[in-house]
Amino acid sequence: MSTIDVHNPYDQKVIKSLTINSSSDVEAAMSRAHKLVSNRDNWLPAHQRVEIFERVIEIMSEQIEELTQLAASEGGKPYMDSKVEVLRAINGVKLAIEHIPQIKGEQIAMGHTASSANRIAYTQREPIGVVCSVSAFNHPLNLIVHQTIPALAVGCPVLIKPAALTPLSCFRFVEILQQAGLPEGWCTALLTSREDSEKMVCDERVNFFSFIGSAKVGWMLQSKLSAGTRSALEHGGAAPVIVDQSMMQDESDADDMLESLAKGGFYHAGQVCVSVQRVYVQESVARDFAQRLAEKASKLIVGDQLNPKTEVGPLITPKEVDRVATWVEEAKQSGGEILSGGERISDTCYAPTVILDPAEDAKVSQFEVFGPVVCVYSYSDKADAIARANGLPLAFQASVFTKLLDDALDTSNRLNATAVMINDHTAFRVDWMPFGGRDASGIGMGGIPYSMHEMTREKMLVIKSKVL
């Protein structure tokens, strides 16, 4: 029987050892889930789903501190931000309750031709079937909520595979669901080998595949799905920001902008799929902007994520620190100017780093850093800056900072992104908004109500009667 150790990312101490599920465990879970959806008599009525979710909210609300400590311990996100994650997770369940009554169809007009006379038609939405979810490490509780609660809300059983680095919050959440009265088989957490994970995802009994993780793995699994399996894939980005010089004319506006971008770039040590990464600033103010951003970065408190004062925690593994250090060194060697950071603080922490004008072909310019690194690029022509911002196959969220309304509208229209924030950082998100990437960054949209819609399918009923 194989086991896996879950480590605290900061001090690398083992938090807990877990048993890896066997192939037979996966088959048993899949078989139970398939049997639940195959017979309509097994389906959970809407009122029962609501009642279960209400109890989930009660239980989670009583355990906010415990859930915060657990998520922070395994994920490395600072305590203050992990508590926000827990509160968002609770709100996600509330959102599902609010949107369950919105699972509805519409009337389809009949009688407009002779052939359609004496008929009435309407659509209704039904659960799509078995949902299989594969999650990522960076939000160990809230991502699990987003990949299980929408499925359960619409009446789909779900098999969830958490990230091997951060599975504890997932298992705890499934325990809470069961404690709240969710019947056996409706939500099963499985810690599986790579081979069993792929077999589970590609099983012909899976109707919907939800994935959060790397593009390489996501697109590979997408290519192997069984015929008819629908999917939503959320990969990373390299979020661009376009800054107009008008934002640097007023000291208060400039400081607010820099605070926002520092938060968006260094939150969770940059381990966020929409983290601020590439900031394009008009050349007359680019150096001043970059130096001021670097000053803010250098003042951030880095260290143990369980210390309430910590603002930037560790990277998820020491290997990731090595990778980020290599990328930053490459950027420096290719002409980028390191204005802050650029060094390891320990085996597990990397200093918040600001790089001015790294080469366009450097890794920090071409790929998602997923570390505490923000790059600032000067531009003379905004059209060129937009072209550079759009120059990667990644396209997720973006930002525009400007005092000019026409500039905000024009620039946001020209950016290739699924969402553009005006005068706010790229990592802004609330859980009821659509959220997802396009192009290499993924397909489908997340967000509680949007995932609920994705996890249903439409059926039309046509009734013929002489009295109509």
Residues annotated as catalytic (active site), given as ranges: 234, 273
Helix axes 382-389, 405-414, angle to 10 degrees: 40
Helix axes 251-266, 283-298, angle to 10 degrees: 60
Cα 412 to Cα 106, 157, 230, 248, 399, distances in angstroms: 34, 39, 30, 19, 8
Q: What are phi and psi of 297, to 5 degrees?
A: -60, -40
Q: What are phi and psi of 271, to 5 degrees?
A: -90, 60
β-strand partners of 379: 282
Measured distance CA(246)–CA(423) in Å, rounded? 12
H helix count then E strand count, the chain? 15, 20
Residue with tokens 């260094």: 266
How many CA atoms lie within 13 Å of 419's alpha carbon, on the beta-carbon side?
A: 20
The answer to whether 63 and 87 have CB atoms below 8 angstroms apart is: no
Which DSSP state fits 367? Answer: S
B/e letters for 128-165, b = 16+ CB within 10 Å, e = fewer, are: bbbbbbbbbbbbbbbbbbbbbbbbbbbbbbbbbbbbbb
Helix (H, G, I), strand (E, B) or coil at 236: coil
Measured distance CA(310)–CA(302) in Å, rounded? 6
Helix (H, G, I), strand (E, B) or coil at 35: helix
**Which residues are CB-contacts of 285 (< 8 A; sequence separation ≥ 6)?**
245, 248
Q: Which two tokens stand for residue 355?
A: 């790089």
β-strand partners of 121: 108, 462
Q: What is the DSSP string of 238-297?
A: -EEEEE-GGGGSSHHHHHHHHHHHHHHHHGGGG-STT-EEEEEEEHHHHHHHHHHHHHHH
Positive or negative torsion for Cα 299, 305, 307, 309: positive
Which DSSP state fits 349? Answer: -
